[in-house]
Every structure is written in structure tokens, then in C-alpha cells.
Chain A
Amino acid sequence: MVTTPVLSSGLDLQASFVEALAGMGVAPGVARLLWLPLPMVTVLVAAVVGVLVNVWLERKISAAVQQRIGPEYAGPLGVLQPMADGLKLVFKEDIIPARADGLLFTLGPVLVLVPVILSWLVVPFGQNLLISNVGVGIFLWIALSSIQPIGLLMSGYSSNNKYSLLGGLRAAAQSISYEIPLALAVLAVVMMSNSLSTVDIVDQQSGAGIFSWNIWRQPVGFVIFWICALAECERLPFDLPEAEEELVAGYQTEYSGMKFALFYLGSYINLVLSALLVAVLYLGGWSFPVPVEWIAGWFHIPIDAPALQVVTGTLGIVMTVLKAYLLVFFAILLRWTVPRVRIDQLLDLGWKFLLPIALVNLLVTAALKLAFPAVFGG
């Protein structure tokens, strides 16, 4: 249930940090205040590094798909290429078109990026390894991601360009249509775990290793969620808002320099975030395919040994990131394999196919939960 406090098993870095500072004679309140920005900055840096990795992967995998070599001169295997891309964008001239609305033009990219970064608040990398275990958890992410279309409409409108406006309108329509099946797929998972909190959702999947992951109990929900997440990120089968042949670059047409970089960052952070959330909701989050408790039992190591705690924490982070990047790999492969859908096909898929399927999935989950409360969460 939502109200039960999470058992303080696993690492609690905050408590250790506060204790260590208190040992040096710092007041506990001040120590807690000093702790506050640390996880936020860590996650922000992790998100940006994740984007750099993502850009490099995108370049290398697309090259491999098209039988090219891809970037290779900037650093070993071209790993510094994303840094070079970023530096180029920093030094580009920042242009605001002559008859554009300067204020809205600047505010648009910010409104696109900020909700995405805020959503990292609820992504857990371990039992206590998240910024805040808020009770509304996954619902917060759904609510925050609904702010994004406003930023897209704002930048589309203020650019004073017909392609931008059309791209912004398309982006908003797409994100409204795909939010509903997305929320319904999440709702089925939430119904099984009796909680909106991301930590509880992962805990509910950690009973029997890989076999207790939600993907076996929610295969349809997994597919719906993944399609909708790709559509929300405007990844290729669904990248209509910036379809080059029709709309130049959609709402990004008039942007350059850092403002364009904000859009770029936002879309890649969103992709990594969606992959992380798929991992959390359906692939058991930080849990190893074989539960760590079992392995510890086989070797007769007490579960609360400090060394094992560190190993478990590290393994949790590695597993979460590994699962997420596996999904990112699939997203990139999809982008370079599948052609783009048309706008009417996109809306048809969202409203006439995914929405009814998601509703049926929710109903079936409810029925199974009533029939087999032991397996589907009582």
C-alpha cells in the first residue's frame, strides 16, 4: 500500500552522509540541506552523459545499419563526436527571426526540456537510489509529460513560420492521442502492484527473479507502452512533427544554437527516460535476473553484510542502465529500419487500435487480478 514506509533495506546514502557530517560536528539540519542538491546534480549529470552516449550510439548504429563506419576520428571509435556536436551548437549564433515573438520563442524550448528533466525525480536505480520516493510516482511522470505539448505549440506559434506552426500542431495532436493508451497501460501495472510509487512497482516484481517481471504478466501492456513511448518521444516511425520532406524540420525549423540544442537534449533525455521507465515498469527495474538474496543464500553470506550491500547497489544501477540501453538500442534500430507513418495512419493507430486494446488489457488485468490474486497482485 502507499502508506507503508519502505523498509530501509539496502544502501541509504542520505543517512550515511548525514551521519558522517554529524561526526565532523555539523548540525543534522545543515547536513541534510547539504545533501539535498547532491542527488539532483548527480542525476542531471547522468542524464546529460546518457544523452552523449545516446548520440554516439545513434551515429554508430545508423552507420552499421547502412554499412558505413560512422564517426572515427574524434577520440577512439569516435566517442568524442557527441562532445564536438555539443560544442558546435554552443558556439553557433543564436538567431531570433525578424518578425518572431522573442519571448515565446525563447520560452518554448525551456518548457519542452524542464518537464522531462523533472520526471527523472521518480526514476529508481535501487531501493533508496532515487531522488524522491513520492507516493504519486509514475502519475507524476504522466502529468509532467503532458506539459510538453504547450512548449511545442509555443515554439511552433512564435517562430512565425507555417512549417513551424504545422509541426507544433502535429506534435501536440500526437502527444495528446498517445498519452491516453500510455496512461491506460501504466494503470494496468499500477493495478497489479497496488501502488503508484515506482519503488513499490519494482519491489512487486522482485519475487522470483526474471520470472516475476511484469513483461510476462503484461505482454500486451508492454507493447502498447513501448509504441506510445516512442510516439511521445517523436522517434522515427512517429517523427511526423519534424518530417523533413513535408515540414522542413517542424517546430525546430527556425531554431539554431543553444535553443535548438535544448530541443535536441530534450528529445534524447526523453528517450532515455522512457527506456528507463519501461525497464522499471515491465523489466524488473534494478533487479538482477536471479535474485541477489538467493545468490547470497547459496554462498551463505548474510544479506545485510556491508560489502554485499555495495555490490547490490552497484548491480542495481548497472542492471537498470543495461536494460534501458538495450531498449534504446532497439529504438535506434527501429529508427533506421522502419519508414515513417502518415499523419492519418498515426492517428488511426492511436485512437482506433491502441486505445481499445489498452482498455481491453486493463479489463482483462482487473479480471485476472480478481481470479488469481496470488499471481496478479491481490
Chain B
Amino acid sequence: MTIASTTQQICFVLLSAAVVLGSLGVVLLPNIVYSAFLLGGVFLSVSGLYLLLNASFVAAAQILVYVGAVNVLILFAIMLVNKKENLSAIPGLALRRVLSGLVCAGLFGLIMRVAFTTAWALPGPVPVGEEATIRIGEHLFSDYLLPFELASVLLLMAMIGAIVLARRDVFASDVITGEPVDQGLIEKARTPLLIETPNPQLQETR
């Protein structure tokens, strides 16, 4: 066994362990911030697996899109609403956990069955290496053109939706319900933010 293949196997074992343990952590940890950071770790490990498969462009794109954009935005959202609140206890939590665990175990069993019964072609296709960038470009603009354009339309729709939600103060009335909109966080001339309003909860406790 050469040094290169030994290194590759060690890297594969380490990265796979990181992916499996990391994703378990994402699902099971009670602290949502830890889950989000671990998600970034899982994305990084997956891009490491792509590197092992000699797909450096896909690995770099994985880091740029999933770690640099998706995960940072998730973290951003979590930290902007950084609020510690104790959720009210859900009835029958233990039963729910057992049930969802059963569903997950069933899915895992199914996937394992597929993995073991499929006749995988060994060795797999030869990696194209550095040429992959050109190949991906060619595919995106020939036989995968329709999915590519549809994805861009989907992103445009999401963007317009986000703008409508975020700039509700521009519209005098809500787009959907037709009721007048008054967003609390944006200061207006007639209702200044720092106004003395009696807290109803405080009065109740008194």
C-alpha cells in the first residue's frame, strides 16, 4: 500500500466520522447555536469528501455556498433573535421521541438495504480532475439548462417574497389581509418607539 492511498483512507475515515457525529450533534444538541456551528462543520467535512473524490471545484463551491452563505445566514438569523426563552413543556415528549426515533431507524434501515443490495460498479468512473470546471459549465448550458433556469426563477421568487415581508412599512396595508400595517420596530413620526406604555403583564402580577 502506498503512502498516498493510506493517507486517503485515513482522511476518508476521519471525514466520515466527522460527518456522522457532526450531523447527529446538529439534530440532538439542545443548544441551537451549537447545532448551527456544527452544521458548518458538517458542510466543511462534506467538501473534504469531495476533495478526496478529486472534485476540487465542487468542494470549493460547497464551501462558498453552504458554509459561506447558507450557514452564515442561519447563524445571523439565530443571533439577531438571540432570545433565551423556556419553551412550555410538550405533553407526551418521551412517546414523541420514541416514535420519531423509530421512523429515523426505519429510514436508516431502508437506505442501508439499498446500499447493500445495489450492484455498485467497481471501480467507479474515473474522476476528470481539473477539467471538471469546464464540464460543469458545458452541462449547465446544454442538457441541464432548464433546471438551471428554473432554479434561478425560484430564487427570484424567494427574493421578492423576502422584500415584500421586509419592506411592509412601504405599503399602507398588508398585501394579504388588507389590514393597515404598523410595524413596531420602525420608528414613525406619529408613534415614537420610546413611549411609556404600561406593561399589561406587570399589572397582572401586581
Contacts and interface: CB of A to CB of B under 8 A. Distances in A.
Interface residues of A, number: 30
B133 A150 contact: no
Contacts of A149: 68, 72
10 contacts: A1-B134, A3-B131, A135-B57, A139-B60, A140-B56, A146-B64, A150-B37, A153-B79, A154-B37, A157-B82
B130 A157 contact: no
Contacts of B60: 136, 139-140, 142-143
Interface of B: 2-3, 33, 37, 40, 44, 56-57, 60-61, 63-64, 67-69, 71-73, 75-76, 79-80, 82, 129-131, 133-134
A172 B130 contact: no
Contacts, number: 79
B127 to A, nearest CB: 12
Nearest to B71: A150
Contact of B69 (A146, A154, A157): A146
A136 B133 contact: yes
Interface string A154-170: 10110000000100110
B133 A196 contact: yes
Contacts of B57: 135-136, 139
A136 B79 CA distance: 33
Contacts of A140: 56, 60
B63 A147 contact: yes
A290 interface: no
Interface of A: 1-3, 29, 33, 104, 134-136, 139-140, 142-144, 146-147, 149-150, 153-154, 156-157, 165, 168-169, 172-173, 176, 179, 196
B129 to A, nearest CB: 7
Nearest to A196: B133
A165 B79 CA distance: 8
Given A29-B3, A149-B72, A176-B72, A104 B37 contact: yes
B69 A33 contact: no
Contact of B64 (A142, A168, A196): A142
